[in-house]
Amino acid sequence: MRHKIWALVRAGAEHRQVVLLLAVLAVAVSLPSLWHGWFLDDMTFRLRMLGSPEVSERLQELSVIFRDASKLSTAMSELYAFLGHKGHVQELIAQVAPWWMYPEIRASFWRPLASLSIWLDYQLFPNSGPLQHAHSILWFAAVVFALTVLYRRVMGPVWAAALAGLLYVLDESYYMPVAFMANRNTLMALFFGMVAVLMHDRWRQLKQAKYAVAPVLFLALSLLSAEAGIATLAYLAAYALALDRDGWRKRIMSLVPYLVLIVIWRVVYGSLGYGAYGSGMYIDPGSEPLRFAAAMLERLPVLLFGQLVGPSADMYYCFNHSVRFKILLSAAGLLTLWLIVLLPLLVKDRLLLFWLLGMVFATVPICACMASSRNLMFVGVGAMGLVAQFVAGLIRKDALPKWRLWSASAWACCAVLLLANLLGGVFGRILIPKYYRGFMRLAEATFRMDLPEEVEKQDLIVVNAPVPLFLAGLPAVSVLEGRPVPRSLRALAPAFSPLEVVRTEDRAITLRARSGSILFSEQRDDVIGHWVYFLEEFNAALRDASHPLQTGQRIDVGSLSVAIKRLDEANQPTEVAFRFSVSLDDPSLRWVQWDWQKGYIPFNVPAVGEISYVPGPF
């Protein structure tokens, strides 16, 4: 009976229609995202794309959106230019961005094809969130279709290709890239990248030069969709190392067209002013190789472990630094043990080596950003192929080591991987829509507040904001929801530490951190895990450690002057003075503070010489 059931399962998995069925399943598991609406960057994109008749002139004055942003040419060049040229950053700091943002910061990305897809959404169905989400879902289905074709083309046995495709579809890490429309760029880059690998395989199999053009073209499309497209090279290089049957000289030469294209793309990319600099979240490997290498040592094990076993790599940042170090060591140790188990198979199975190399190589470029499971889509192609090929190797029992210890270890690893990715994937897919909605509510609470009409003529002063970077989106959200937009927005500090607010003069106050610093919380051993630790990573995005604030430094942001009075041993400010152009009691200022239980509440400015206390999260 067992053999008959296995025969039926195998026959179904090897049916050629399984490619289409997995694409349909990809659509089905993504359907809950249809009703998520617009979130964070999606809101900014919406305001830019709707055009001047429906967009407040006020947002252009606040530098939240560009003029003529809805034009195709502007959209394709500026849509993902979050923090572009120097003048734009300084305008943002003067109007809505936090004062401690590094004025030379750059987080500007060239994604013309992804921008074109967003622009098309607003030409065809500008006010339909479900249809725009459906567009992203179709790209995910196309990704699953292409990679399942790739699995079937190169893997043996064929049923293992269906298993790899199923594991990929069930991975809940890929829900956010589909639900978050701004992340469509990764879906597009991955689709074109997988087609490039398929075309490369055809070229190397047929040995005809005319077939060498298509993979280069699709790699170009992948790069023009997102920087993530460079991970396509991971699988092309892995192919040359593990699957190509030619001599080493021809294998290396097969990669030359792709390397030339990437160099050209990178030169054009930089010459147009795109890239990342001065941010604690993004690292440009080309301009900061040492910093990138240091970040990779930390992020690569966390990302690989999160992809293969879970939990989400994002959870790493929810713990204090001492626990993170233990997680890092545990992840590195367990990955090393599994590699040791794999070694006897790797020397005999070229496909297993191909998927392993592709997975690891694809993880390297995403180490340029904070570890996040939503960036694992390229990595997952190799990871799921590796798991399926590993399972197939154990079932075939072809020339496996006879050692009992190895056999027990291999089957234990197999059980863990299947449980984590099959059973865990099913439960994850059921729970992830709820989790994502919860994250949306948490994020929206950090920048959503009820404000009266008179705020249009007031400067909104937020003493402590839980995510100052998100708070800068308040004007955009206010316009979308028909709420009043403040004249300007000032966040004095994050909400990570308890603060003393000392009114030193009629027009001046000083903030002192009672623990930790003004910008970051105290790492407490009795608080092992907390959402605050995760939220702090977004604050780190505003200024990297190589550009610290200085004692005595003055920063002028519009009518507000900021002076750094004292730093701690980590060069983080513990005392900062603020001088306004008007009395702190002037009706042109509206004061609020963040309460970790109630959200935003009014802040009562103390009298001259008095102190108010603002509690932290702990």
pLDDT digits (tens, 9 = 90+) for 111-163: 999 999 999 999 999 889 999 999 999 999 999 999 999 999 998 778 889 99
Q: Decide if pLDDT at 455 tops 90.
A: no
Query: What confidence score (pLDDT) does residue 38 get?
Result: 85
Model pLDDT, residue 468: 87
Question: Is 407 a residue whose pLDDT tops 70?
Answer: yes
**pLDDT of residue 293 exceeding 60:** yes
The string of pLDDT tens digits covering residues 193-218 is 999 999 999 999 888 888 889 999 99
Q: What pLDDT, on a 0 to 100 scale, did the predictor assign at position 386?
A: 95
Percent of the chain's residues with pLDDT above 90: 47
Cα–chain center distance at 24: 26
Cα three-residue angle 108-109-114, rounded to 5 degrees: 140
Which pLDDT value is given to residue 311? Answer: 81
**What does the block give as tokens for 52?**
């001047």
- The mean pLDDT of 36-41, rounded to a whole number, is 84
What pLDDT is recorded for position 451? 87
Dihedral (C-alpha) 121, 126, 130, 136: value to the nearest 10 degrees?
A: 20
* Beta bridge partners of residue 600, listed in sequence order: 594
- Long-range contacts of residues 549-552, Cβ cutoff 8 Å, at least 24 apart: 549/100, 549/573
Report the SS3 class of residue 563: strand
The residues pairing with 460 across neighbouring beta strands, listed in sequence order, are: 489, 590
Residue 168 has pLDDT above 70, yes or no: yes
The pLDDT of residue 330 is above 80: yes
Classified as helix, coil or strand, 599 is: strand
Amino acid letter, 570: A
Among residues 30, 258, 306, 298, the alpha carbon closest in space to that of 142 is found at 30
Query: Which candidate, 563, 517, 520, places its Cα nearest to that of 539?
Result: 520
Helices (H), 16-105: 18-30, 41-50, 57-61, 72-78, 86-95
Cβ–Cβ under 8 Å, residues 215 and 222: no
| d(C-alpha 494, C-alpha 531), whole Å | 14
Contact 501, 485 (CB under 8 A): no
Listed in order, strand segments (DSSP E) in 536-586 are 554-557, 560-567, 573-579
Q: How high is the pLDDT of residue 4?
A: 61
Residue 529: per-residue pLDDT: 84
pLDDT tens by residue, 335-371: 999 999 888 888 888 999 999 999 999 999 999 888 8
* 76: Cβ contacts below 8 Å, ≥ 6 apart: 112, 115, 116, 119
Can you give the length of the chain in residues?
A: 618
- In this predicted structure, the answer to whether residue 496 has a pLDDT above a threshold of 60 is yes
What are the residues whose beta carbons fall under 8 Å from the beta carbon of 62, sequence distance 6 or more? 95, 96, 475, 485, 488, 489
Question: pLDDT category, 55, cuts 50, 70, 90?
Answer: low
Q: What is the mean pLDDT of the chain?
A: 87
Which pLDDT score, from 0 to 100, does residue 86 have? 55
> How far apart are the C-alpha atoms of 560 and 461, rounded to whole Å?
11
Check: CB of residue 507 under 8 Å from CB of residue 584. yes
- Identify the DSSP state of 494: B
Q: Which of 56-60, 96-100, 310-314, 476-480 has the lowest mean pLDDT?
A: 56-60
Candidates 143, 145, 142; CA nearest to 18 is 145
Q: What is d(CA 193, CA 216) in angstroms, rounded to the nearest whole number?
A: 10
The Cα diameter of the chain in Å comes to 86
Stated pTM of the model: 0.91
Query: Which tokens in the block code for residue 48?
Result: 């830019």
- Please report which confidence band the pLDDT of residue 475 belongs to, taking 50, 70 and 90 as the band edges: confident
Residue-wise pLDDT for 565-600, tens only, equals 999 988 899 999 999 999 999 999 999 999 988 889
Separation CA 238–CA 193 (nearest Å): 14
Band (266; pLDDT cuts 50, 70, 90):
very high
Q: Is the pLDDT of residue 220 over 90?
A: yes
Pick the more confident residue, 393 or 29. 29
Count Cβ atoms within 10 A of the Cβ of residue 215 and give its class: 0-12 exposed, 13-18 middle, 19 or more buried: buried
Q: Is the pLDDT of residue 9 over 60?
A: no
User: In this prediction, what percent of the chain has a pLDDT beyond 70?
Assistant: 93
Six token digits for residue 146: 């292409």
Which is it for strands 589-595 and 459-462: parallel, antiparallel or unpaired? parallel
Q: What's the pLDDT at 106? A: 84
pLDDT of 69 reads: 65
- What pLDDT is recorded for position 62? 55
Model confidence at 327, in pLDDT bands (50, 70, 90)? very high
> In the structure, what pLDDT confidence band is assigned to residue 49 with cuts at 50, 70 and 90?
confident
Give the pLDDT confidence score for residue 544 in this predicted structure.
Answer: 85
Taking a C-beta distance cutoff of 8 angstroms, is the pair 600, 594 a contact? yes
| The predicted structure's pLDDT at residue 399 | 62
Contact 426, 28 (CB under 8 A): no
Q: How confident is the model at residue 524 (pLDDT cuts 50, 70, 90)?
A: confident
